[in-house]
Chain A
Amino acid sequence: MPPLIVPALLVALAAAVILVAPLLLDTYLVNILVRACFVAIAAITVDIMWGYCGTLTFGQSAFFGIGAYALAIMFTEYGFGTWQIFAAIGAAVAVAAAVAAFTGWLSFYPGSTPLYASVISLVVPIVLVQILYSGGTFTGSSSGLVGFESFDLEIETWLRLAGLGLLATAVLALVVMRSDTGRLLSALRDNDSRCTYLGIDTSRLRIVVLVLSAIVSALAGFFYAGFGAVAAPENASFAFGTNLVIMVALGGRGTVIGPVIGALCIEVASAYLANSLPYVWELIVGLALIIVILVFPDGLLGAVMRLVKRGRSAVATTILQPAIAATAVSNPDAVAIEVRALGKHYGSLAVLDGVQFTAYRGELLSLVGPNGAGKTTLIRCLSDGRERSTGNVAIAGHDIARLPPDRVVRFGLGRKFQTASVFETLTVAECLRVARTHADPPALTSRSATLALPPAAMSVVERSGLGERLDEEARNLSHGLKQALELAMVLSLEPDVLLLDEPTAGLTRAERQGFADILTTLARRDRLCILLVEHDLDFVREISSRIIVLHQGRLALDGSVDEVVNSELVREIYTGQHVSHAEVPA
């Protein structure tokens, strides 16, 4: 394949440089570069966590330190030998993975914030270093472990191995990050809650990424200690962890290559400057960090790449194709939503109270009511099992219990948010592919050229004009197109129940009419049950098959369009006349 020739040549060139470099450089520099290569591998893991997944982590140093100490402790206690090497590698991987899994469990759960995960990542190396300090002779306490026998290799060989290891890690990271899986991780960074409502267990995904990057970081630390025959608490410290973040920030997050350049430059420069310019060097690094974050948020490489990219337009490459139709609707009139005695309280304040209704497939049910009636809260309670205070909700016959949204979505629920919620930095096709994660697991090393969509999503893409803009980034779309894209993403889930929160707000008249047609087709032809929150009574009247009125947290009316629109209550609500609470039929 011709497009692969250039990258392949670049990799070959880099490998050649790595193999030749030790012959040309003096021993001091080679020594520094070997360490720098291992540090750069750890920096790549920070980039994957932060640049791609959006978790700012100060804790990768902890895993680096675990790798270093696994080797040092093993070789100190049992001497150097083949089985000790493998046992030490096994221990490094196992301990790093276990600590990462526990850290992940602490950091990532439905509702956790990125800030919280960052602070936890700061705690991990601090706790680890204290454990190392109190480990006595086993961990060497504050002076670390030295004087054990380690790999006996020429320093030139070390540089070649370290350099090739770094190259391999970088290539692997780049390949995976540019694949469909990598795009899924970027989707996580852009919009975690949208991912959750596409049925993706984001917490688990983040934990998996953390565990894998912890293992890579531990292996880097393992060889770092093997090279220097030293393991020191500094290797695990949070200061080193923040240094890794600085390297990634300066080099350019989300680029893999940028962090490698950042790590190599900073490591080499510190080795030369830290002695001649004590304190001033760190001062410069601190200033550089502030300036880069303020002026070039994507780092130096990111800034360069943006200059290069300017003028180059995206080439359309994605081809749409229909997905193999899911099994035909077996029971076109089945119960889709069943709500029993639903209540939501904040302390003594009841936002929803005793809400009860049933909705069937093929129905287009509108939920109306004045502001503050609890409409959006009701939508939340239907899609997230942890939201409601009392009562039961079943979606397509499944009790949602206390399940998080990603599980409820898998029962056949799709929720479109009030403001268009898409993945801003992904292209239209990538957004849709992320939405299809459950049906077509993303490729780990490649990007698909085709995108298979179910008929409903396909028709939205085609009718809205998104079909011609598949390779454009979502952030460049108009408001109306973003709304259409989100709807297409939700429909890609092939839901049985569709929840829409004011989908027409801010749309033009023509866009609104298009939306109305799409919704009626979905209900009639595809037998979806659509629950629509809407303020515009004309729109509601035009498309609904049934209307529910929510008033002061109670279900005030439930009936056909004519019954509801002509009722006393609705007229009073919408003309602003006061209706005392007592008159509201419960």
Chain B
Amino acid sequence: MLTVALDAVTTAAMLFIIAAGLLIVFGVMKIINFAHAAFLTVGAYAALVGAHLNLPWFLVLPLAFVAGALCGGVTEIVIVRRLYKRPLDAILATWGLGIVLGQLITLMFGREVQFVQAPISGTVHLFGADYSAYRLVMIVAAVILGLLFTGLLNGTRLGLSTKAVIMNEMLAQGLGVDSSRVRLITFALGSGLAALSGALITPLSSVDPNMGVPWLIGAFMLVMVSGGSLLALAGSCAVLGTLQVLVSTFVNPILGGLTIAICAAIVLRIRPEGFARA
């Protein structure tokens, strides 16, 4: 029972880490970045390369972040920027980019499944149960990420500009906010976070060119349900992540994998604003 509870919390933390980057892009640009899964994979392979080079873990994570942010920055300038007025085309183009990145990774690294050693191995004895130490690290990572984000949005000039763009882009432009710069930084940041999340989850899952795709739908739905609010995202990850773990454990794992998508779809149908104003 305790293991299930810990599973629920750590799953929610992982979902939060993965969906956070998607959320800020959705919040600012009102598009879903379909290349998110590919950026996540880029981060995972960055971690793999780092591990082969015997880099210490605290260097691997920034490396993954930078790799993702660079990909994201270039994507924003070359593709997304030109499609502001055509949001559906923008998601289709990012999907095309996802295909391209996936195939490039396959050509460079092969399609076989690879593994990365966790920096912290073994189990921790917690409340009378042994639990994977690295999974617990996910909770810490999610909390740090959430706090960093809140700080960034509420405590910096960039955060202020970003909030202005989210609320009223035209007005923000009129007040001298360089909204295309805000969009560029947001997209790079979101992509960097995707890669960071990829690097963070690699020790728990295998690395392969399509590893990001299974996470994609869950992350999409969580972001839609959260409607651009970080707090709502944390809440939806907690609720839907717990449901997923419960269904996987007690009903059947395949149904568990679909829980988030189905529940989120039904929540959105009944309550179109999702959990955003709950």
Residues of A within 8 A of B (CB): 54, 56, 105-106, 109, 111-112, 114-116, 118-120, 122-123, 126-127, 130, 133-134, 242, 245-246, 249, 279-280, 282-283, 285-287, 289-290, 293-294, 297
Q: Is B143 interfacial (CB-CB < 8 Å)? A: no
CB distance from B264 to the nearest CB of A (A): 9
Contact of A286 among B31, B82, B99, B262 (CB under 8 A): B99
- Once the chains are docked, how many angstroms separate the CA of A118 from the CA of B86? 14
What residue of chain A has the Cβ atom nearest to residue B88's Cβ?
A: A56
Whether A293 lies near B104 (C-beta < 8 A) is no
User: Interface segment, B63-71, B134-142, B217-225?
Assistant: B217-225
Asked whether B261 lies within 8 Å of A126 as measured between CB atoms, the reply is yes
Please state if B88 and A111 are interface contacts (CB–CB under 8 Å): no
CB contact under 8 A between A56 and B91, given known A130-B258, A134-B252, A294-B79:
yes
Known: A115-B31, A115-B32, A279-B106. A289 touches B252 (CB 8 A): no
CA A174 – CA B90 in complex, angstroms?
27
**Chain B neighbourhood of A111, CB < 8 A:** 272
* Shortest distance between the CB of B243 and any CB in chain A (Å): 16
Q: Is the CB of A109 within 8 A of B224?
A: no
Known contacts A106-B265, A114-B88, A293-B89; is A127 also within 8 Å of B258 by CB?
Answer: yes
Are A112 and B107 in contact, CB atoms less than 8 angstroms apart?
Answer: no
Known: A127-B261, A280-B107. A115 touches B88 (CB 8 A): yes
Smallest CB–CB gap between B213 and chain A, Å?
Answer: 9
Contact of A297 among B31, B87, B89 (CB under 8 A): B89
Residues of B within 8 A of A122 (CB): 217, 220
Compute how far the CA of A134 lies from the CA of B100 in the bound complex, rounded to whole angstroms: 31
A-B contact pairs, 22 of them (CB 8 A): A56-B88, A109-B269, A118-B32, A123-B217, A123-B221, A123-B261, A123-B265, A126-B217, A126-B258, A126-B261, A130-B254, A133-B254, A283-B107, A286-B98, A287-B100, A289-B95, A290-B79, A290-B100, A293-B92, A293-B93, A293-B96, A294-B82
Q: Please provide the chain B residues from 154 to 169 with a CB less than 8 Å away from any CB of chain A in the complex.
A: none
Smallest CB-CB A-B distances: 8 pairs: A286-B99, A289-B96, A286-B100, A283-B103, A290-B96, A56-B88, A293-B93, A123-B261
Find chain A residues with CB under 8 A from B118 CB.
none
In the complex, what residue of chain A is closest to B277 when comparing beta carbons?
A347
Is B257's beta carbon under 8 Å from chain A? yes
Residues of chain A with a CB closer than 8 A to B98's CB: 286
A282 & B103 in contact (Cβ 8 Å cutoff) = yes
CB distance from A287 to the nearest CB of B (A): 6
A294: B residues at CB distance < 8 A: 79, 82-83, 93
Contact mask for chain B residues 101-143; partner A; CB cutoff 8 A; 1 contact, 0 none: 0111011000000000000000000000000000000000000
Q: For the complex formed, measure the closest distance between the CB of B237 and the CB atoms of chain A, giving whole angstroms.
A: 17
Q: Is B268 an interface residue (CB 8 A)?
A: yes
Known: A286-B97, A286-B100. Contact between A119 and B224, CB under 8 A?
yes
B93 touches A290 (CB 8 A): yes
B106 touches A245 (CB 8 A): no
A286–B79 alpha-carbon span in the complex (Å): 13
Given A119-B32, A119-B221, A286-B97, decide whether A280 and B254 contact each other with a Cβ distance below 8 A. no
Cα separation A249 to B31 with both chains bound (whole Å):
19
Distance A283 CA – B106 CA, assembled complex (angstroms): 10
What residues of A have a CB within 8 angstroms of the CB of B86 in the complex? 297
What bracket does the count of chain B residues touching chain A fall in? 35 or more
Contact residues in A for B82 (Cβ distance below 8 Å): 294
A280 touches B265 (CB 8 A): no
Residues of B within 8 A of A297 (CB): 86, 89
Q: Are A105 and B217 in contact (CB under 8 A)?
A: no
Across the interface, which residues of A come within 8 angstroms of B262, CB to CB?
123, 127
Taken together as a complex, chains A and B put the C-alpha atoms of A361 and B255 apart, in Å, by 59
Chain B positions within 8 Å of A282 at CB level: 99, 102-103
Are A280 and B93 within 8 A (Cβ)?
A: no
* Chain B residues within 8 Å of A109, by CB: 269, 272
User: Which residue of chain B has the shortest Cβ distance to A114 in the bound complex?
Assistant: B88
Q: Which residue of chain B is the closest to A54 with respect to CB atoms?
A: B88
Contacts of B93 in A (CB 8 A): 289-290, 293-294
CA gap between A56 and B32 in the complex, in Å: 13
Most chain B CB inside 10 Å of its own CB: which residue of A123, A130, A280, A297: A123
A424 to chain B, nearest CB (A): 12
Nearest opposing residue in chain B for A287, CB measure: B100
In the complex, what residue of chain B is closest to A126 when comparing beta carbons? B217
Question: Are A280 and B91 touching (Cβ within 8 A)?
Answer: no
How many whole Å from B101's CB to the nearest CB in chain A? 8
The distance from the CB of B79 to the nearest CB of chain A, in whole angstroms, is 6
> Are A287 and B96 within 8 A (Cβ)?
yes
> What residues on A are CB-neighbors of B88 within 8 Å?
54, 56, 114-115, 118
Contacts of B95 in A (CB 8 A): 242, 289
Docked complex Cα distance between A289 and B92 (Å)? 8
B99 touching A279, Cβ below 8 Å: no
CA distance A116 to B227 in the complex (A): 11
Residue contact B107 to A289, C-beta cutoff 8 Å: no
A376 and B102 alpha carbons, distance in the complex (Å): 49
| Bound form: Cα–Cα A564–B91 in Å | 52
CB distance from A430 to the nearest CB of B (A): 22
With A and B bound together, what is the CA distance between A42 and B87 in angstroms?
A: 24
Q: Bound state CA distance, A491 and B74, in angstroms?
A: 50
CA distance A387 to B10 in the complex (A): 40
* Nearest CB of chain A from residue B133's CB, rounded to whole Å: 31
The minimal Cβ–Cβ distance linking B223 to chain A, given in whole angstroms, is 9
Chain A residue with the shortest CB-CB distance to B220:
A119
**A136 CA / B266 CA spacing, docked (Å):** 27
Tell me whether B92 and A249 are in contact (CB under 8 A). Answer: yes
Alpha-carbon separation in the docked complex, A118 to B224 (Å):
11
A130 to B224 CA separation, bound complex (whole angstroms): 22
Which residues of B are found within 8 Å of A287, using beta-carbon distances? 96, 100
Chain A residues, CB < 8 A from B30: 115
Complex interface residues of chain B between 207 and 253 (CB less than 8 A to chain A): 217, 220-221, 224, 252
Interface centre among B82, B258, B261, B266 (most CB of A within 10 A): B261
CB-based nearest B residue for A288: B96
Chain A residue nearest to B266 (CB atoms) is A106
Q: A133-B254, A282-B102, A290-B97 are in contact. List 12 more A-B contacts (CB 8 A).
A: A114-B88, A119-B221, A123-B261, A123-B265, A126-B261, A127-B261, A279-B103, A286-B98, A287-B100, A290-B96, A290-B100, A293-B93
* Residues of A close to B224: CB separation below 8 A: 115-116, 119
Separation of A279 and B172 alpha carbons in the complex (Å): 44
Residues of A within 8 A of B83 (CB): 293-294
Question: Considering only CB atoms, which chain B residue lies closest to A286 in the complex?
Answer: B99
**Distance of B194 from chain A, by nearest CB (Å):** 17
Minimum distance in angstroms from B176 CB to a CB of chain A: 22
Is B91 within 8 A of A115, CB to CB? Answer: yes
Chain A nearest CB: distance from B36 CB in Å?
13
Q: B91 touching A116 by the CB < 8 A rule?
A: no
- Of B79, B104, B265, the residue contacting A283 (CB under 8 A) is B104
